[in-house]
Amino acid sequence: MDTDSNEELRAHWDERYRSGQTPWDTGITPPEVQKFWKEYTSPEDGNLALDIGCGTGLNTLFLARQGLFAIGFDLSGQALKLARKRLSPDAATGQERPRVKAMFVQADVSRLPVGSLDAVYALDIGCLHSLPDDRRPAYAQGVIRALRPGGYYHLYVFDRSKSDGPGARGMDDGEVAALFDGKMEILSEERGVSSTQVSRPSRWFLLRMTEK
Ligand SMILES: C[S@@+](CC[C@H](N)C(=O)[O-])C[C@H]1O[C@@H](n2cnc3c(N)ncnc32)[C@H](O)[C@@H]1O
């Protein structure tokens, strides 16, 4: 049933971050993303990348370190508080502000507050699969609007499980293809299991925008 309001969703995610129930927050950018940036592209400095449902921003900063201007979007103010700390100098340790271009924006990614951004890359690790079904088409339209033709979209999702609440509902077979049909080509789809939810089937997708 897809009746969750933004307030309910925000409260759910804020509570997860507040209580530290964030098994996805491993401190390591997934090897799939690292491999992509090693092999696939050499971005021009300042090209735009989006981290959709960025959580505490680890991967946003990874993208920024590739020379991209990285924007992380998340609904949870609690997550973004932690994300913005990564950009702040640490007075206690004297740690320097990272010399990268990154920013964090609080937004519902099923209503991405962006027009045509000309982004070269969008990353979603575990956000789309948590959205209520009725919000997914609008989410997909936001990603399509934001990316430039030829831009890449890297997506990690759990397979559908009927028992899940707002945390990770998962996605049906063929759902990603249907959501981006005619606009994006699926370059790869790799099945695996989650390292954080034991034996939960999951998939990595890499897609590319074909046209606008
Ligand atoms: C499983 S966590 C993954 C976080 C991050 N991508 C990572 O790998 O560390 C899912 C994230 O999606 C965010 N999220 C869920 N629904 C959202 C929505 N409608 N708009 C924006 N962010 C959302 C949550 O707040 C949470 O930070």
* Boundaries of domain holding 132: 6-20+45-209
**Given a cut of 70, is residue 198 above it in pLDDT?**
no
Q: What pLDDT digit, counting tens, does each position of 26-83 carry?
A: 999 999 999 999 987 666 767 999 999 999 999 999 999 999 999 999 999 999 999 9
51 occurs within a structural domain: yes
* Residues near 149 by beta carbon (within 8 Å), at least 6 away in sequence: 209, 210, 211, 212
29 occurs within a structural domain: no
Beta-ladder partners of 51? 72, 123
Structural domains counted in the chain: 1
Beta-ladder partners of 152? 121, 208
CATH number at residue 157: 3.40.50.150
**Closest ligand 1 atom, residue 139 Cα:** 19
35 occurs within a structural domain: no
129 CA → ligand 1 middle, Å: 10
60 occurs within a structural domain: yes
- Binding site membership of 37 for ligand 1 (Cβ less than 6 Å): no
127 occurs within a structural domain: yes
Q: What pLDDT digit, counting tens, does each position of 1-34 carry?
A: 455 788 889 999 999 999 999 999 999 999 999 9
Q: What pLDDT digit, counting tens, does each position of 96-135 carry?
A: 666 789 999 999 999 987 778 899 999 999 999 999 999 9
Entry pTM: 0.93
- Binding site membership of 131 for ligand 1 (Cβ less than 6 Å): yes
Cα 89 to Cα 98, 140, 181, 196, distances in angstroms: 8, 35, 43, 30
25 occurs within a structural domain: no
- Binding site membership of 76 for ligand 1 (Cβ less than 6 Å): yes
Q: Which residue owns the Cα nearest ligand 1 atom 8?
A: 125
